Structure 1
């Protein structure tokens, strides 16, 4: 896998908000993409890329905001299936 396809795979995964295992087959084996990202993070490659891009003051085209980043449903504090909220045993509270 070339570097461009790898970066596209990582960006696709984060833009779509999908688990690694749901990465489309056109990007190759998701385990290899994840492994390569982990290695790049550990070796500092990703940090160097971000520092290089951050040095470009005219980089509005690369801005990431909440309109394109999706969180997993459980990250918003959604209740687990079958979870129940029980009243507090502390009768003097609130």
Structure 2
């Protein structure tokens, strides 16, 4: 994860990332993330910064390239919903 060049020392990036992952795996609000991951506001700010500067996109591309080089990706994968809502008139 990128490190800032100046300013006060930041919280451990791994701890912050674990908190972000925990938040999205459980589906809780930012304010309900356990304190062991740091202040919820710090997690949210770091999430927004990483999302805005493309850190998550770069990480995904690097993981896909590594898995592809190791032969771990052999076909495209599609995620679909199990619920399809349609209006009665649409049938």
Q: TM range, normalised to the smaller chain?
A: 0.5 to 0.7
- CA RMSD in angstroms comes to 1.7
Instruction: Tell me by how many angstroms 1:56 deviates.
Output: 2.8
TM-score by length of 1: 0.58
Give ranges in structure 2 of 5+ residues lacking alignment: 1-10, 74-78, 80-91
Give ranges in structure 1 of 5+ residues lacking alignment: 60-64, 66-94
- Relative contact order higher in (CA < 8 Å, ≥ 6 apart): 1
Deviations 1:8-44 (A, max 9, x none): 1111011111111100010111011100110111111
Corresponding residue number in structure 2 for 1:36: 46
Deviations 1:56-76 (A, max 9, x none): 3238xxxxx8xxxxxxxxxxx
Whole-angstrom CA distance in 1 between matches of 2:14 and 2:50: 14
Structure 1 residue runs of 4+, over 4 Å off?
A: none
Aligned partner of 2:12 among 2, 12, 18:
2
Aligned partner of 1:14 among 17, 20, 24:
24
For these two proteins, the number of residue pairs brought into alignment is 60
